[in-house]
Chains A and B, each alone.
Chain A
């Protein structure tokens, strides 16, 4: 590698890092408690006790559940039904219109077997931290901005790996020179921690960036796949009398007998067309549980129109979520995730320290530092 090449990569590393470091530090710090979101939420807000019924007690029809959901919020229409992962609980989201803002929606929870009202989900401190992590409470463009910071972080990782080669030309892997200058010590640690967290940080950075594009990617899917399903023929206008939701779920379940329902989107909401119940089924392994299979049932006639796997870009987006949050492999994985997160904080912090404590002089000085493995004194 010529000195000119090294200088170019050094400048790429310096500038991409400097721009994204403050935001990445925020993401790492808020991300740390989010790894243990389920545990912390369960501890702060213990799940409400449920009636003990014999195993195999059948669930009520979803239509009966919807009748109960209509009582507390008259004038609302159902927007979503979703199913608890672990317990027989059905969640119903209602709103005055199909396109109402999430803040104006009503959330209800029912025991699926008895129809008894359960305490609804209350967004707690973890939901706040998640919002902070997602968009710093500043909305859509802030989320896209953080996605761009994630891309810069990935470029910083790649350029760091390129610089690692000349730096390590005369050093053994894992060399930490001690008893020398403090800056040299941190230069070695920055290189070691940077190279061992490389794969993890790349995966979490890139999947995090993908997650910030949820809204645009979903809109592409709606404009293509969904529109084709909805426009395939003329529709009976949707009146007040709708087809049975339970029958819609049963029809889709028959097409995907090995899967479980995850949620049902009602006509007009983000995840459905204007005419359909969209029934989203999920698999039973950590991976297939994220790869949703939607079935579309005409909400006027009750006819099953399509059960089509999502396009690749939706699948990739859905798969990016567990890979970003590390919540799919049990407690051991969460602990490992947390250690990687802390090490990434050290890499970011040491990088900043190395830059602040750089000796004066032009960037040629930094290039010398790279090729001489820091032995420039």
Chain B
């Protein structure tokens, strides 16, 4: 397995962090449509978490492994 770069490791966390901060700010700016935007931006990290949480147990680790396994198999 190869090492990921910091950029790869933190790409999704930074995106979710920016979304959170933008949501916190949008709620402060105004009411109505700003509140809706704030809710959506703040909810994004929660939706992503829920997606990871409920992925079928068996598929998740294997999905990460399988392309590499296929490559190895082809070379052999």
A positions within 8 Å CB-CB of B: 161, 164-165, 168-179, 192-193, 195-200, 203, 285-287, 319, 322-323, 328-330, 332-333, 336-337, 339-340, 343
**Chain B residues with a Cβ closer than 8 Å to the other chain, count:** 43
B57 touches A179 (CB 8 A): yes
A330 / chain B contacts, CB cutoff of 8 Å = 27, 31, 35, 39
Contacts of B22-60 to chain A: CB distance below 8 A: 23-24, 26-31, 34-36, 38-39, 42-43, 45-46, 48-49, 51-53, 55, 57-58, 60
A176 touches B45 (CB 8 A): no
Query: Given the complex of chains A and B, what is the CA–CA distance between A285 and B2 in angstroms?
Result: 50
Query: With A178-B60, A333-B27, A333-B42 given, can you name 15 additional A-B contacts, CB distance below 8 Å?
Result: A168-B9, A170-B1, A170-B2, A173-B12, A174-B12, A192-B52, A193-B49, A285-B28, A286-B30, A330-B35, A332-B35, A333-B23, A333-B35, A333-B39, A336-B23
Partner of B4, one of A168, A192, A196, A336: A168
Query: Given the complex of chains A and B, what is the CA–CA distance between A200 and B6 in angstroms?
Result: 21
B positions within 8 Å CB-CB of A: 1-4, 6, 9-13, 16-18, 20-21, 23-24, 26-31, 34-36, 38-39, 42-43, 45-46, 48-49, 51-53, 55, 57-58, 60-61, 64
Partner of A170, one of B3, B11, B31, B39: B3
B14 CB to closest chain A CB, in angstroms?
A: 9
Given contacts A175-B60, A333-B39, contact A164 B52 (CB under 8 A): no
What residue of chain B has the Cβ atom nearest to residue A339's Cβ?
Answer: B46
Please report whether the interface of chain A is mostly helix, strand, loop or mixed according to DSSP.
helix
Partner of B53, one of A165, A176, A336: A176
Query: Given the complex of chains A and B, what is the CA–CA distance between A199 and B18 in angstroms?
Result: 8
B35 / chain A contacts, CB cutoff of 8 Å = 329-330, 332-333
B28 touches A197 (CB 8 A): no
B23 CB to closest chain A CB, in angstroms?
A: 8
